[in-house]
Amino acid sequence: MSSIIGAPLDRVIGPQKVSGTAKFAAEFRLPNLAYGVIVTSTVAAGRVLRIDTSQAELAQGVIAILKPGNAPEIDPKGSENALSLLQDDKVHYNNQPIAVVVAERLHQAQYAASLVRVEYQEQTPKLDFLAGFPDSHPGSHVGSPGDKSFGDFDAGMRQAEVKIDQVYTTPIQHHNPMEPHATMAEWQGDRLTLHDATQHISGVQETLAKVFGIPRENVRVISPYVGGGFGCKGTPWSHVVLAAMAAKQAQRPVKLVLERPQMFGPVGARPRTHQHITLGAARDGKLTAIRHETHAHTSTIEDYLEASVFPTRLMYDCPNISTISRIVPLNLGTPTYMRAPGVATGTYALEVAMDELAYELKMDPLELRMRNYAEIDPETKQPFSEKSLRQCYQRAAERFGWSKRKYEPRSMRDGHLLVGWGMATETYPGRHMPANALVRLLPNGRALVLCGSQEIGTGTYTIMTQVVADVLDMPPDKIDAQLGDTDFPEGPLSAGSMTVASISPVIQKAAEEVRSKLLQMAAADAQSPLDGAAPNDIGFKDGRLFLKSAPAKGENYSALLGRHGNQPLEATAGSGEVKNNPSINSFGAIFAEVSVDPDLCIVRARRIVAVYDVGRIMNRKLAHSQFIGGIVWGISLALFEDMAVDPRTGRVMNANLADYHVPVNADIPEIDVSAMDIPDPHLDSYGARGIGEIGITGTGAAIANAVFHATGRRVRDVPITPDKLL
């Protein structure tokens, strides 16, 4: 393959992003556009007795007000999620959509919405997480059961000479992308066009078609740019359907953008977890048993399982592993996938427990992990498709200087500050999904690649460009990548670190077919310098065909196509159904240094070193950015994020970016990341596994372990805030 694969090619959409010409969902202009504003509930459980809209209807510019009783009837069962679509008067959580005001201008809709008065018949909400444990029940995650065991846990614990038995907790955390959820809906007869901030245009298309009872091809979804999603834009939420309902009622296009406080509840979050971990080991550090039991909250209207126990099944060589998952229904909005769902919270708990075991054994935490290194998948007993975690440990430890670490807590200082070093293992599954793509070589010497995927900030446009440039040996600036439109060949969901592994092979296949057609055309063209040449004797370079034995003898792609009616050459390719192998996983090693002020108990991350084994690196610059982004999220999990819920009303008390704390530049230290760059041929033709999420996994534990090393205090409930160290 050419050097374009793996090269640090700049983002091809960089100029559009920095110049402001990249249009996001709320930035498209439509004639006669109206504006919608959602009214949300102020109670967590009960019924809406009456919605008084009399004053709102008199406000200037008001076009329509949708509420239960006058909203268009639709089929709410058309969605896989339980949505709030104004079809009944039930209230299941605080901040639930209960009405929509449509007006000529945004400020008019906002003012009119403030005039809506609601009477409720309140019920006592279920908001006590721990008290809900007796009513919890099992669940599954993407079809995989939350409960799974192998070996004999009890026998393994009887063999254990050293034991750890602790509970680790994580709070509710919110995605908070800079771009809020936004939808613009326009009807033309029974055809619906949506501009939507989504990670899955095809999923939105399918849901809206089912809800409104129209053919799928009658729904077009457009989303060329997404300003962050991290999972909360992976499935259609209530506001998407409500925007389309409002447009139908108003008989004109409607734009509906969620206000920041409305993004706490109606569009998902990472659920709260309570993780009970039991470890048993021999005196030499060899694990004899692991038990990981997780309780996580869900809503009262549907189940969502945070798969925190899943990584425990594969991370270490242990013959007896028991994993148990329970869901606790609460009157809160339905949780959803949040970057590295389950794995981020699960690795936090397991890796802190492993650190505790290392101290109980008086063993170096890295040595403990090396002694329990899994050469094969402990659950399936199959070899991993490719695993170089041992090399990750060694390289990261060397770059960090781990050998200089003093073992005892509170033994390292920098002047007045306590200094701590911690480490952890990182992992994330390698997966792919069905995908389709079209590649078209144009007579003007340019190439076009189309895929109905999404650009969520990970660099998909750039990877699409690199794959076509690789196969057709063309300069990247001669290739136009387009995505984010359901009129294009259907692409996969942009989630689960699956996009590159899903779309790259089909783009490669389509481009190879175009190349084959080009070769055949040249060899059969009496006017071509390559007439009669065997396909294997023809080479490609910089948009030119030439005879390998006589490189001067050749012609440009455009010259060849020009003699054939100036018609483009194109091909489509698809992967069909795919089967994901559970023994395909990425791994990493992360080392962290923190400082702690012993008087104020303020924790600062000072230095991070991480090395990853994620298959082939398709673009070094994009990969570097993704790794750092994930690590920032892991730091945030450990030190900052915590949603505060009023235990009486279910109202989120910090539903804004001022009070919901996330790290800023000043909170992020020097980050040294690298990758092994070893292709994994078992997942896709390029050997690339996804990298968007692995950086979060383990990072929270590495920070927490470093805090213990600095202070001697073990905080098992993140975020680690000063009050927990006092």
CA 706 from centre of chain: 27
Tell me, what DSSP letter sits at residue 267?
T
d(CA 504, CA 250): 42
Q: What is the CA radius of gyration of the chain?
A: 27
Q: Are 131 and 274 in contact (CB under 8 A)?
A: no
- How far the first Cα of the chain sits from its last, in Å, is 57
Choose the catalytic residue: 206, 306, 555, 693: 693
**Rounded Cα–Cα distance for residues 255 and 29 (Å):** 10
Task: Report the run of H or E that residue 429 belongs to, with start and end.
Answer: strand 417-429
The half-sphere exposure of 368 on its side-chain side, counting CA atoms within 13 A, is: 28
Distance CA 177, CA 181 (A): 9
User: What does residue 714 show for φ and ψ, rounded to 5 degrees?
Assistant: -95, 110
Residue 193, strand partner residues = 186, 220
d(Cα 24, Cα 18) in Å, to the nearest integer?
13
CA dist list (Å): 33 to 131, 187, 236, 251: 48, 12, 22, 10
Please confirm, yes or no, whether 490 is among the known catalytic residues.
no
Are 718 and 365 contacting, i.e. CB atoms less than 8 angstroms apart?
A: no
Q: What are phi and psi of 141, to 5 degrees?
A: -130, 115
Angle between the N-to-C axes of helices 699-711 and 620-639, in degrees from 0 to 180, rounded to the nearest 10: 50
- What is the DSSP code (8-state) at residue 133? G
Other CB atoms within a 10 A radius of the CB of residue 290 amount to 31
Residue 410 tokens read as 């509170």
**Which two structure tokens, joined as six digits, stand for 112?**
């009119």
Tokens of 145: 């059961």
User: 587, 707, 586, 694: which is closest to 638 by C-alpha?
Assistant: 707
- What one-character DSSP code corresponds to residue 181? P
What secondary structure does DSSP assign to 443-474, as a single string? TTS-EEEEEB---SSS-HHHHHHHHHHHHHT-
Pick the closest to residue 307 from 427, 422, 393 (CA basis): 427
Nearest alpha-carbon partner for 431 in 625, 574, 586: 586
| Residue whose C-alpha is closest to residue 422's, from 639, 691, 276, 272 | 639
Supply the residues annotated as catalytic. Answer: 693
